[in-house]
């Protein structure tokens, strides 16, 4: 493998001149062109360690997902894929590398991890994806160290935190308003884990909209964002007999729809189902799923852009929002009053 000395020898210049030319420093245009041409001819690949020493930057950022022991739902769905697409699109364009890590709040070495992130110069910045209501002490540590970071989550973390908010509460409200507009009066929610931040925010917006519409006959069950948990929660909701069900992600909605279909219950004529995320599964179920598009690819692009701005010296506090949109398909109806009610012969033991 070629090194700086080889490039310098072929170009007829000093090693220091090669280093300056390849790092965009002050070298005349003719010399720089000759050095770059020689580097290409030798298939020279710059050392990342050497570049870090020369520039003070590693050209690498970290995407850190914070979870907790026993609840690694980040691995159970493809949702992170959409966010990663957006992040990588921006980083690739600016020749940055990405390091993906998952850390638990229960890791006894968490403080040392963040101390190392700040101190060893292996990263230029960090994208934080919190999932649960826990102690985020390290946000203050990163801020005090003036280490570039951006958080993907709501402003519940405070007004002095760099964040891109995906407005989960607004997304939940969109579903509540849809149910009210369609005339559903007996509605339920299948939510994610109780301390999951996405789940908490989506529930908050949803039930605020129901309260505004004076819809009081409600029920709630919890899942873990997987298809199976949605199926089990839907089975448990049959005693309540909802007109419509809001599932806090599309995977649980798919599970709920599987239960209803296998039970001979028509969607949406007897029970409407709405999901959240607008991932691929939403158009793979029958009928196609009405859902909320949280625009995670755009969120990934925005958060990467803001982080790189901080890396390059921007001192302004980052406060951005990506507003979700409702995607209406066939799993809900605008005229529930004309739909057939569930009869006692179809659901034994329930009360209407």
The pLDDT, as a whole number, for residue 345 is: 29
CA distances for 110 relative to 75, 113, 136, 137, 161, angstroms = 21, 5, 11, 10, 20
- Equal CATH topology for 60-167+297-324 and 168-293+328-338: yes
How many other CB atoms sit within 10 Å of the CB of residue 181? 10
Residue spans of alpha helices (H) in 213-317: 227-237, 250-262, 296-311
The pLDDT, as a whole number, for residue 340 is: 37
CA distances for 176 relative to 103, 202, 209, 240, 318, angstroms = 34, 10, 5, 18, 30
The pLDDT, as a whole number, for residue 309 is: 96
* C-alpha 297 chain-centroid distance: 8
Question: What CA–CA distance (Å, rounded) separates 9 from 159?
Answer: 55
- Closest among 89, 76, 298 to 193, alpha carbons compared: 76
Stated as kind and residue range, the H or E segment containing 48 is helix 48-55
**CATH superfamily placement of domain 60-167+297-324:** Response regulator (3.40.50.2300)
* Burial call 11-24: b when 16+ CB within 10 Å, e when fewer: bebeeebbbbbbee
Residue spans of alpha helices (H) in 154-196: 168-182
The pLDDT, as a whole number, for residue 113 is: 86
- The position carrying tokens 């158009």 is 283
Contacts of 212 (CB under 8 A, 6+ apart): 176, 180
pTM of this prediction exceeds 0.85: no
Dig out the tokens for 340 from the structure: 């057939």
Please tell us whether the domain made up of 168-293+328-338 is placed in CATH 3.40.50.2300.
Answer: yes
The pLDDT, as a whole number, for residue 75 is: 52
**Domain coordinates of the chain in residue numbers?**
4-46, 60-167+297-324, 168-293+328-338
* pLDDT tens for each residue of the chain, 352 residues long: 677 788 889 999 987 788 778 766 668 889 989 988 998 889 887 655 455 545 556 789 999 998 876 655 555 556 788 999 999 999 999 999 999 998 888 888 888 888 888 877 789 999 999 988 888 888 888 988 899 999 997 656 677 899 999 999 999 999 999 999 999 999 999 999 988 999 999 999 999 999 999 999 999 999 999 999 999 999 999 999 999 999 999 999 999 999 999 999 999 999 999 999 999 999 999 999 999 999 999 999 999 999 999 999 998 999 999 999 999 999 998 644 433 333 332 333 332 2
- Closest among 247, 274, 280 to 82, alpha carbons compared: 280
């Amino acid at each position: 493998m070629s090194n700086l000395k080889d490039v310098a020898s072929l170009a007829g210049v000093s090693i220091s001149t090669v280093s300056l030319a390849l790092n965009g420093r002050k070298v005349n245009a003719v010399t720089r062109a000759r050095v770059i041409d020689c580097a290409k001819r030798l298939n020279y690949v710059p050392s990342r360690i050497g570049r870090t020493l020369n520039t003070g930057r590693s050209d690498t950022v970290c995407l850190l997902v914070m979870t907790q022991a026993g609840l690694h739902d980040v691995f159970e769905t493809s949702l992170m894929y959409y966010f990663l697409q957006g992040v990588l699109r921006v980083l690739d364009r600016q020749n940055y590398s990405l390091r993906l890590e998952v850390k638990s709040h229960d890791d006894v070495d968490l403080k040392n991890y963040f101390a190392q992130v700040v101190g060893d110069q292996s990263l230029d910045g960090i994208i934080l994806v919190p999932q649960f209501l826990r102690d985020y002490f390290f946000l203050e540590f990163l801020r005090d160290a003036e280490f570039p970071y951006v958080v993907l989550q709501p402003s519940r973390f405070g007004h002095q935190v760099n964040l891109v908010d995906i407005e989960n509460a607004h997304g939940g409200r969109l579903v509540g308003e849809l149910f009210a507009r369609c005339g559903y009066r007996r509605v339920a929610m299948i939510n994610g884990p109780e301390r999951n931040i996405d789940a908490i925010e989506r529930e908050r917006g949803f039930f605020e909209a129901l309260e505004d519409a004076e819809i009081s006959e409600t029920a709630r069950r919890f899942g873990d964002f997987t298809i199976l948990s949605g199926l089990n929660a839907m089975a448990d909701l049959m005693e309540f007999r909802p007109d419509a069900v809001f599932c806090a992600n599309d995977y649980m909605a798919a599970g709920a729809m599987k239960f209803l279909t296998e039970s001979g219950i028509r969607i949406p004529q007897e029970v409407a189902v709405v999901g959240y995320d607008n991932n691929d599964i939403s158009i793979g179920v029958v009928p196609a799923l009405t859902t909320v598009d949280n625009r995670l690819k755009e969120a990934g692009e925005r958060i990467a852009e803001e982080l790189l701005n901080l890396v390059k010296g921007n001192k302004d506090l980052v406060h951005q929002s990506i507003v979700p949109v409702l995607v209406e398909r066939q799993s809900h109806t605008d005229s529930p009053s004309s739909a057939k009610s569930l009869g006692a012969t179809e659901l034994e033991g329930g009360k209407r």
